[in-house]
Structure 1
């Protein structure tokens, strides 16, 4: 007979399959903030919360919270998705929280945040930031691609935040979204920190010319300068353990096969769990880019998109999560998260902890996102150990 944790895991996967049907794009999983798909998914999760004995509340932006008793521990993750998403990013943490709530009578709160990925309004953590009362008038004026503001989309004025300032800890279970656990043959990971990140737009300005008549040594090729920048970013990241740098967009405006590129626009995303390492890497890359552009006579302008400092999980809670993982018989593998999570927001108001679950191939934000019954069962078991220990202190 399957164990209670295996039965719970199968229920989690079945519920994830059901939630995948709430989508704005048939045949894909696309569930943005303040849409019919989001409302349907939230209503279904609300039914499951109530069946688990939780008293539910919803705020103006659509965050759903299910609470039992004098809760001081919040378990949560996000209910929204990117476009053409997988079915476990965010969802898994909510559903595992529900299983812990249903199997215990502990005073806990389970939260489904309405927006973490920022698909509709291109602003991350809107759900958790609304939950703790951080939304600004400027963000309420954000517009989607149809010109609808966030204020118009949610219809109601934000009221008092759902967050209880007496909360002592926030715990999030999430798929790893990376390949480390799978490479090491481990089902679970203990998150130590969430990497800080810097994002930039860069515009390389050269001089367009005829591809057949301009000698190579007389060219001011913007794309060639940008290509050197891409390789410099890769080299600098390879030099520093844990550093990652990505040029995700590379465009040549008005480019043509027979025209020397006069301009190249690229993006840079650079991340590390240590802010000092990340800032030093950006400074080094700026210096190398200056050398490249001077040598090629191709000036460059940098525009900052965003800076997000690193978020450290609370050391004492990291150790509690590690102990919970070890109680399942697994080795506690500590690792940072390169992706952002709602924990970033919650760490500004309370202590935080995270548990990673192995995902096949490290694939996330993609329909091929996959987890196993056994891994989810172990995550539920470890989460239950952690919550019992947290609620007994």
Structure 2
């Protein structure tokens, strides 16, 4: 493959160092004194938007905060006369700036900042003259999505859903732990709930979407590789499960008279693991378990547990859920318990567009030793903003190695060397797509 990017290794390495430093700086913007926590429509959200907008303007991008609170930087396509073409469709590069509680500093953030460095490489010749300025046949945008994690209101992908035109008016009544509704938070942030639809983009406005992200798993680390092409993003279903038994005195109730909801729920959680282990590429997680009345001297009369179910393909995910239902029916029948489930989230698998997989692959190959042309291709078990954006345009993703695969945790890590290679690959992918479009 012919390398199109002219930036020398010094420029690429400097960009990676800048990205790592900026990740450290943004990690200090937190609502918690014990770790990183930055949620939607908070003071911390506003602060990182202002900070990153300043970095966007440094490289010649215009900036705005859209009607859902997402930060958008744009570099216009130039016409033959040199005037900006304000109506040109845009290739969007993006990820998110919000976090889970007690987060790592790279999830989402590193993808946004790598996007900025890729724009820098494409926009400006380096001081040593080895950089490369190229007119693109489309505008280039970097979007820092506002609420990928769903930490505050319990509904993920709010920012990217707004951009995809998929905002649900039923979300306005969602409330955070303090009782503030999403509608009230919009107003407090300075947004107009009646105008949220203005964040939506039309397919004809977009060329596609590219997202760089750390892999939130160990596959690249185990393979000893820095970068991967993402083939698809896992389908997901989430359930709230309630197990009903009978609350009785802990000391006075013999085992043969107990209908212990906690034991039934615990056995159900083990059944989730057993069923999912037997099915390739399906993962089930019970992340929350509560009991009621919750007294130390009372047999639990009710238990509530969550189930997060993810699979590479929708039909495999659904087949596993049916198997879990049968297992839980058996468990509860044997223990004299009742149970019910409510689905609270469903998302289909999203497949990355073949063309965008190809340009990402070519971008990665440009970073490899000569003669090596077969980078890893893996599917993402974690969700990303690309899932929502896939409803309005083609999407592609690039993964970076995450040592030990740990994420959503302070020990989350990525190396400056991998960031350098990933940023170069991302910029190269943009140029490959530009070449494809003539």
Normalized against structure 1, the TM-score is what? 0.94
When residues 210 and 139 of structure 1 are mapped into structure 2, their CA distance, relative to the original with a 3 A threshold, is: closer
1:200 paired residue among 217, 239, 243: 239
1:34 paired residue among 41, 45, 48: 41
SS across alignment from 1:252: strand
Please state how far the C-alpha of 1:132 moved relative to its aligned partner. Answer: 3.0
Please state how far the C-alpha of 1:63 moved relative to its aligned partner. Answer: 1.1
Alignment correspondent of 1:320:
359
CA contact (8 A) 1:323 1:332 kept: no
CA contact (8 A) 2:359 2:430 kept: no
Please state how far the C-alpha of 1:277 moved relative to its aligned partner. Answer: 0.4
Structure 1 CA distance, aligned partners of 2:422 and 2:336? 55
Structure 1 CA distance, aligned partners of 2:184 and 2:263? 45
Please state how far the C-alpha of 1:217 moved relative to its aligned partner. Answer: 3.6
Please state how far the C-alpha of 1:29 moved relative to its aligned partner. Answer: 1.7
CA contact (8 A) 2:163 2:389 kept: no
CA contact (8 A) 1:244 1:270 kept: yes
When residues 26 and 213 of structure 1 are mapped into structure 2, their CA distance, relative to the original with a 3 A threshold, is: closer
When residues 58 and 292 of structure 1 are mapped into structure 2, their CA distance, relative to the original with a 3 A threshold, is: same
1:355 paired residue among 394, 398, 401: 398
When residues 221 and 24 of structure 1 are mapped into structure 2, their CA distance, relative to the original with a 3 A threshold, is: closer
Please state how far the C-alpha of 1:258 moved relative to its aligned partner. Answer: 4.3
1:333 paired residue among 370, 376, 401: 376
Structure 1 CA distance, aligned partners of 2:358 and 2:147? 29
Alignment correspondent of 1:388:
431
Structure 1 CA distance, aligned partners of 2:347 and 2:425? 30
Structure 2 CA distance, aligned partners of 1:145 and 1:232? 31
SS across alignment from 2:378: strand
Alignment correspondent of 1:177:
216
Alignment of 1:153 with 2:185, yes or no, is: yes
RMSD: 1.9
2:411 paired residue among 362, 368, 388: 368
When residues 144 and 221 of structure 1 are mapped into structure 2, their CA distance, relative to the original with a 3 A threshold, is: closer
CA contact (8 A) 2:287 2:307 kept: yes
Structure 2 unaligned spans of 5+: 1-7, 78-87, 124-135
When residues 212 and 23 of structure 1 are mapped into structure 2, their CA distance, relative to the original with a 3 A threshold, is: closer
Please state how far the C-alpha of 1:22 moved relative to its aligned partner. Answer: 1.9
Alignment of 1:280 with 2:319, yes or no, is: yes
Alignment correspondent of 1:132:
164
Alignment correspondent of 2:387:
344
Please state how far the C-alpha of 1:89 moved relative to its aligned partner. Answer: 0.9
Alignment correspondent of 1:92:
110
Structure 2 CA distance, aligned partners of 1:13 and 1:164? 34
Structure 2 CA distance, aligned partners of 1:153 and 1:259? 40
When residues 71 and 103 of structure 1 are mapped into structure 2, their CA distance, relative to the original with a 3 A threshold, is: farther
SS across alignment from 1:197: strand
